[in-house]
Chain A
Amino acid sequence: DTGVSQDPRHKITKRGQNVTFRCDPISEHNRLYWYRQTLGQGPEFLTYFQNEAQLEKSRLLSDRFSAERPKGSFSTLEIQRTEQGDSAMYLCASSFTGGAGTGELFFGEGSRLTVL
């Protein structure tokens, strides 16, 4: 499978615990995005990387959230001291920019977080 993969697909945790999500993008894609989606809403942008550089962070990304893409390949999104309001689907997407690429996003299946 050469699509975007995310792990884990589901995570249930207690308030105050830390969680980490992993995303493996399509191999030739240089951009990687994290979005958050809550029930009844569209995806909301969190942050994105071009290669290993984190180029933009949304104000939605509080200090408890950190994302990395250490070698420009896979990425991790860590949430520290989780709160019930963090319960959501966390979506990863990748795209290719450059040449004739128009940068449409290819999404993974998402990681659903439930904070009890």
Chain B
Amino acid sequence: AQSVAQPEDQVNVAEGNPLTVKCTYSVSGNPYLFWYVQYPNRGLQFLLKYITGDNLVKGSYGFEAEFNKSQTSFHLKKPSALVSDSALYFCAVRDMGSGNTPLVFGKGTRLSVIA
């Protein structure tokens, strides 16, 4: 079975500081990994994905994530946080070998960027 853990319910960071939102995963094979962002009363918006290749993936709004196979992690990062980045962030995984299984999401991490 595949699963995702987001160990922090809440992350607080000052505007202009770097931010990291943590994610670890568990799959039986190789993973497809995704990050989504959700603003209040809205659906989820796709940020970035790791499929294969370069371990550092760049996505929307200046976000990036680093795939680390040995640590089974896919942490989301941004060099300089903005107040507008405040939202709920979800990590998701699918087993690459399974083909048809749906994405499994973590519980989410609430990011609060303080001016």
Q: How far is the CA of A112 from the CA of B110 in the complex (A)?
A: 20
6 inter-chain pairs at a CB distance below 8 angstroms, sorted by A residue, are A55-B100, A56-B100, A102-B49, A104-B34, A104-B46, A112-B41
B56 close to chain A: CB less than 8 A: no
Known contacts A102-B49, A103-B94; A91/B105 CB under 8 A:
no
Contact, CB under 8 Å: B44 / A43: yes
Which residues between 87 and 111 of chain B lie within 8 Å of chain A, taking CB atoms? 90, 92, 94, 100-108
Complex contacts, A108 vs chain B, CB 8 Å? 43
Q: Which of B32, B41, B42, B102 contacts A48 (CB 8 A)?
A: B102
Q: How far is the CA of A40 from the CA of B90 in the complex (A)?
A: 11
B51 close to chain A: CB less than 8 A: yes
Residues of B in contact, count (CB < 8 Å)? 24
Complex contacts, B44 vs chain A, CB 8 Å? 43, 91, 93, 105, 107
Q: How far is the CA of A40 from the CA of B105 in the complex (A)?
A: 12
A41 close to chain B: CB less than 8 A: yes
Q: Which of A43, A103, A110 contacts B105 (CB 8 A)?
A: A43
Q: How far is the CA of A33 from the CA of B102 in the complex (A)?
A: 8
Contact, CB under 8 Å: A107 / B45: yes
Minimum distance in angstroms from A98 CB to a CB of chain B: 11
Q: How far is the CA of A19 from the CA of B51 in the complex (A)?
A: 38
Contact, CB under 8 Å: B104 / A45: yes
Q: Other CB < 8 Å A-B pairs besides A42-B107, A103-B32, 20 of them? A: A4-B43, A6-B43, A35-B105, A41-B107, A42-B4, A42-B105, A43-B90, A43-B105, A45-B103, A56-B101, A56-B102, A91-B43, A102-B49, A103-B94, A104-B46, A105-B34, A105-B46, A107-B45, A108-B43, A110-B43
Q: How far is the CA of A44 from the CA of B108 in the complex (A)?
A: 12
Complex contacts, A33 vs chain B, CB 8 Å? 102
A106 close to chain B: CB less than 8 A: yes
